A and B are shown apart, each in its own frame.
Chain A
Amino acid sequence: MAIFVDENTTVLIQGLSPTSQGKYHGLRNKAYGTKVVAGTNPNRAGTDIEGIPVYASVTDAVGATGATASFISVPPKGAAAAIEEAAAAGISFIVCITEGIPAQDEARTYNRLKRDFPAVRLLGPNCPGVISPGKCNIGITAGEIALPPRPGKPAVGIVSRSGTLTYQALYELKQQGVGVSTCVGIGGDPVPGTSFIDCLEAFEADDETSAIMMIGEIGGSAEEEAAEYISHHVTKPVSAYIAGVTAPPGKKMGHAGAIVSGGKGTAQAKIDALRAAGVKVGQNPTEAGEFMVELLDALS
């Protein structure tokens, strides 16, 4: 089955122009086999860009093509408005990879979506996107490093807060010959639209997913909350890796969300919480991949 996106997902690219990031990534996603059906750009309505028809607004594009998902990579200034436009136009799954959206915009948009469009799922911002290998890829993940589920073999669902470590996780599993049902990068910003818990819940319910690999990092309490959720609601085996064990307090490590403040959000606290919930936590991404293989072997 996969979660969030599959072979039936139809995608539109917001802010499509001949020079936009959206075009670059959108065409890569299309080449992977993703059903990219439309783009939006008020200045280029009625044209097409490399075979992708362009509409003036998301509403027009949805009306004409029935697109269900939207891909946003517009600059930070316009990203929050683009998310709200997509939600209002009836898109049910929004992927926003834009990095550097002001925190105030992010918090306001998150709460507006929760209130006015509770059925809409936002992934990101500042995330690599989502890939259901072999079916659909929305975002910047290099499709070739993701191994599709193999017939008769258990597949793993991945959820990660960090971009490059998401690729690392996919790569570790590929090295081990383990297929992936869906890999979700939830992003490293303080207010992610989709949380670890949202993904854990979806993976737990997904027939195709046999086990879950989780990649976390310092800052906030999302991993601790995920651990709590796992101990009560997740029956599938989970392996994890947490980045930032040696990060000094008070310094932002790249992501706006990755900071240890007031003794909260340390890697050790997260590792302890996950271990207490029965999760196998690796010291590095490779070890987390090896633990996953052990967990899958124990299933068969």
Chain B
Amino acid sequence: MDLFEYQGKQYFARFGIPVSAGGVADTVDEAVAQADAVGYPVVVKAQVQVGGRGKAGGVKLATNAEEARLHAGNILGLDIKGHVVKRLWIEHASDIAKEYYASFTLDRSAKKHLGMLSAQGGVEIEQVAATDPGAIARILVDPVDGLGPDQARAWVLAAKLDPEAVEGAVDILVKLYRCYVDGDADLVEINPLILTPDGRVHALDAKVTLDDSASFRHPEWDEFRGFEELDPRDALAREKGLQYVGLDGTVGIIANGAGLAMSTVDVVSQVGGSPANFLDIGGGANADVMAAALEVINTDEKVKAIFINIFGGITRGEEVANGIVQALGRVELSSPIVIRLDGTNAEEGREILAPHASDRLISKPTMLEAAEAAVGLAGRA
């Protein structure tokens, strides 16, 4: 789960990371009230999960209530690269002497945590990495040892942060690491991490991606939900507990297993079609799961054909076939289905499907033939 800036800052604050005083506003009046409360000058910031909001006019400085009202009115409802602004974060404006960059994420090759720190913050770190890779100081942190102040200090010195920023940065980095580990994040990033003219270091932005697998030990994450930016198809899939990724094409795809679902998307493209989605129903392809999957795909008006690709491992072919037949009784489908059923007890499964075969329910023996049939029905891309 990606957090909005204001949520990220609230999360940082729990771990003692200094952030600017501020508040959330969904209306112009709320924005002015928040601005009055935190004290002028304030920055009015659009809460969208997309980069480049400053350039798009989504971040404005206000020195009094009239300006706050004007900016809030302009920014609410603004479309930033397809993301419509529904919420603002109003915070007290900071004086900035220097802008740095700091982050933690997993280095999958090293299988350790990777910390990146740079004295060149405020710009996209990818740009710094491309133009001046030496400006990013990297450390690998062994998850068994964690990150202590001494290691953090050596890292800050290696990144050549200004001398007056060193102690503040060490403190924040140790806390940021705790936020990353104890807070079960996949990514924590501060850009910019600022040094103020009076020598304080604090987080002016917050980018946090939480690890959904750790939800079971973070009941407090519930408050972050409900304001996520989800495609309606994604929202329904999540409600049904399905692994779904919406795409733009005309062939709806249901498969069991992430790899097979990905492979199905590929094969549909290879034979000239355009996949409408990636949908993994996982191991248990019973009637409930299958009906839920068909329901999600059915809400996608672009879909012209549905390709169900099942390879029975633990899931037996006859269970899958029964699931499909029952699901068809429950969901009124607008598109025809092509099924490829293989693996454990596939024969029995095909026998169950045979009496239901029609031009709305077509069985094919291999993945390629099924993909071609589905693309034939849906039309080529």
Contact = CB atoms under 8 A, between A and B. Distances in A.
Nearest to B366: A286
A102 B108 contact: no
A100 interface: yes
A145 B258 contact: no
Contact of B106 (A107, A145, A262, A284): A107
Interface string B230-262: 000000000000010101000000011111111
A215 to B, nearest CB: 7
Given A164-B259, A165-B257, A245-B266, A101 B213 contact: yes
A284 B245 contact: no
A248 interface: yes
A217 B266 CA distance: 11
B259 A104 contact: no
Interface stretch (B31-39, B109-117, B220-228, B331-339): B109-117
A191 B108 contact: yes
Contacts of A141: 313
Interface in A211-230: 215, 217-218, 220-222, 225
Given A115-B144, A162-B260, A284 B111 contact: no
A150 interface: no
- Give the interface size class of chain A: 35 or more
A257 B108 contact: yes
A107 B113 contact: yes
A266 B261 CA distance: 17
B126 interface: yes
A160 B263 CA distance: 13
Interface stretch (B88-96, B267-275, B319-327): B267-275
Contact of A111 (B126, B143, B260, B265): B143
Contacts of A112: 144
B256 to A, nearest CB: 6
Nearest to A102: B214
Contacts of B366: 286
Given A142-B314, A253-B278, A286-B366, A162 B211 contact: no
B267 A284 contact: yes
Interface string B302-317: 0000000001111000
Interface residues of B, number: 49
Contacts of B214: 102-104
Contact of B112 (A100, A104, A107, A163): A107
Contacts of B295: none
B262 A258 contact: yes
Contacts of B216: 76-77
A179 to B, nearest CB: 18
Contact of A144 (B112, B275, B342, B344): B344
B328 interface: no
- Most chain-B CB neighbours within 10 Å: which of A110, A140, A163, A225? A163
A243 B270 contact: no
Contacts of B275: 246
A112 B142 CA distance: 9
B315 to A, nearest CB: 9
A102 B184 contact: yes
Given A104-B211, A286-B368, A110 B111 contact: yes
Contact of A164 (B111, B181, B213, B311): B311
B186 interface: yes
A82 to B, nearest CB: 16
A142 B269 contact: no
A255 B35 CA distance: 43
Contact of A163 (B267, B270, B313): B313
B143 A107 contact: yes
- Most chain-B CB neighbours within 10 Å: which of A142, A164, A166, A251? A164
Contacts of B260: 162, 164-165, 168
B184 A190 contact: no
A254 B280 CA distance: 7
A262 B113 CA distance: 18
A128 interface: yes
Contacts of A104: 143, 181, 184, 211, 214
Nearest to A215: B259
B148 interface: no
B353 interface: no
8 contacts: A107-B111, A164-B260, A165-B260, A167-B343, A217-B262, A218-B262, A247-B262, A283-B266
Q: Which 7 A-B pairs have the closest CB atoms?
A: A162-B259, A254-B258, A164-B257, A165-B259, A164-B260, A102-B214, A243-B262
